Chain A
């Protein structure tokens, strides 16, 4: 197998020639550009690096995948558009899917021909995900789905949705959930983007009205979707933490470059010093994450500590940098201390979501208190 150093050199060389696209602000053109970028990456063999060759991947390791993510971020190149499919849904289909599901769905997912979204959260089922209410009722060879989902990224342009539905309302709430693969062009599916405080709108709400889904689109067995979802969310976390670490490193490097050569104030020094300390903390913390990811340890309460550390670092770093914008924060296109206000305002606002998505900080704290510290259950 190709050594990590050789792989890194090859990735770096390719990225230097690849001319990665600028990410457009407009949502529709952003989707088009990033989807084309995924296709480019796929054809060059940079998508599904740790996936098996049978599933259409490169048959390398998680370490290779991490190296590529690092190089991609350092090259200031965008991620492929289909991250939800690549990191969350795809691995679940690969592990729990039928042969037919794997051969029909995975190659198109990797190539970016199909973009996937994830229909898990509902307006009334956020942290308490297992209380979800979207129903699927058997009717012949179909399941008929009705309900509402929310925070479903790119749902308005996606081809497929990984949907959690309640198939048995009579049992304990985790036990009656199934994992469905839903064609987004099915009659009865409506998706509506929600505008966020960053100005972006890739998060959607999805309405499902009597949507007929063939039974063969169940992933795994009926009423056994909760375990798959848990696996899915667990496999998402470690990889996402490591990617975010590199993104933050690049952000701090960029901020330093922008600040260099400008009049230096104690506030600028203190802010950068604090960013550096926070980044070293994250680096030290993720050395263990990397070891767990490569060893394939699976979800553990230690992931919750990682997530809390990541949230804290991300929010500290971006608040420190954005704090240097001062009163010019609100002036679009300004460059206080040399910093590009538009970028840092956007990144700072987005950092506030870090302690909400993927299991809120409160949920993580309860997991740490009960499962790691062994405190009595409340």
Chain B
């Protein structure tokens, strides 16, 4: 199946079975919905990039990009990032269960940001035991398994194991539940894979960039529809040049992001671990900036209704704001990219 066919299939299903009243009800009831996770598991969406010899569909990781664009466009809530990515990257029976049930794996990663590292906490692995606290972990309370990152090591931890404490936290992200994870001398065996942390973070970054691109796209679509229909002064407000130029600018910015995501995905499967880290950071840096600004313009062009929760563009905005700095915002990532340009060989010189 071609990459865009996965996207088209996901889009078709979500348009039919998710958009509209159901989305509104879900959003009002929080971000964790076991029946939705089970439904998506039943559709096989969590096994898309799992290799065939492990019972998956065997799509390349890059095929997930088009799927996350649709997750963003349709504002799909829940642990999609963890449930899609972790089984694809990690061959382990305990991880494989998520593909069938949809009950999430949670990634306990203190390294989602450098800028707020102190606020986020840290985890260390000493003599086979994990200790530390991470103050914001997506879907840890709901998870059947914790994927704990400590330095370059990745360990699988049972949330019910002695020494593990999980505190529920309130969330301002319409699509994510948060918890604090405290580990106190928890025995753990690191998975033998030197590149796993880097690959996990790079792919998370890239898929979040795609999700943000989808969020921006739907905000633009809603806006074009709205200003083409809404009348003031006896004509559609979309005929006024002041609004047309903002809409055109939104389109330009979204197109640039969309094409950047496509180009990055096209090159990603062949990239080395270090190349992918910069490519993904580049896409995420741009997505963080563009998605938020497009959503802000969408609210502006929706007028007062855009500020209410009755209009879905406000939810897209809060979602984009929540994802903006998860695995780095533009400020943090630009510095990281700039430093690598000054010190390493130019990542562009591939030809």
Contact of A270 among B228, B286, B335 (CB under 8 A): B335
Q: Which of A260, A279, A284 counts the most B-chain CB atoms under 10 A from its CB?
A: A284
A368–B241 alpha-carbon span in the complex (Å): 12
Q: Is the CB of A284 within 8 A of B248?
A: no
Q: Is the CB of B263 within 8 A of A287?
A: yes
Does B198 make an interface contact (CB < 8 A)?
no
- With A366-B241, A369-B247 already in contact, the answer to whether A274 and B334 are too (CB < 8 A) is yes
Q: Mark A270-302, 1 if CB is under 8 A from B, else 0.
A: 111110110111011101100000000000000
Q: B163 to chain A: closest CB distance in Å? A: 39
Q: A200 to chain B: closest CB distance in Å? A: 29
- With A272-B341, A312-B252 already in contact, the answer to whether A280 and B244 are too (CB < 8 A) is no
Residues of A within 8 A of B244 (CB): 365-366, 369-370, 373, 375, 378
Of B31-39, B253-261, B311-319, the stretch lying at the interface with chain A is B253-261
Of A35-43, A97-105, A261-269, the stretch lying at the interface with chain B is A261-269
Q: Is the CB of A260 within 8 A of B256?
A: no
Could you tell me which residues of chain A, from 80 to 100, have a CB within 8 Å of some CB in chain B? none
Instruction: Tell me how many residues of A have a C-beta within 8 Å of chain B.
Output: 42
A376–B330 alpha-carbon span in the complex (Å): 35
- With A273-B334, A378-B239, A378-B240 already in contact, the answer to whether A264 and B339 are too (CB < 8 A) is yes
Q: Which of A266, A272, A373 counts the most B-chain CB atoms under 10 A from its CB?
A: A373
Could you tell me which residues of chain A, from 225 to 265, have a CB within 8 Å of some CB in chain B? 249, 253, 256, 259-260, 264
Q: Is the CB of A277 within 8 A of B334?
A: yes
Q: Is the CB of B335 within 8 A of A273?
A: yes
A377–B224 alpha-carbon span in the complex (Å): 13
Q: Is the CB of B341 within 8 A of A277?
A: no
Q: Is the CB of B342 within 8 A of A373?
A: no
Q: Is the CB of A373 within 8 A of B255?
A: no
Q: Which of B283, B286, B335, B336 counts the most A-chain CB atoms under 10 A from its CB?
A: B335
Q: Is the CB of A284 within 8 A of B252?
A: no
A-B contacts, 14 listed (Cβ < 8 Å):
A256-B341, A269-B334, A269-B337, A273-B333, A273-B339, A277-B285, A308-B249, A362-B245, A365-B244, A366-B245, A369-B247, A375-B228, A376-B236, A376-B239
Binding site for B on A (CB under 8 A): 249, 253, 256, 259-260, 264, 266, 268-274, 276-277, 279-281, 283-285, 287-288, 305, 308-309, 312, 362, 364-366, 368-370, 372-378
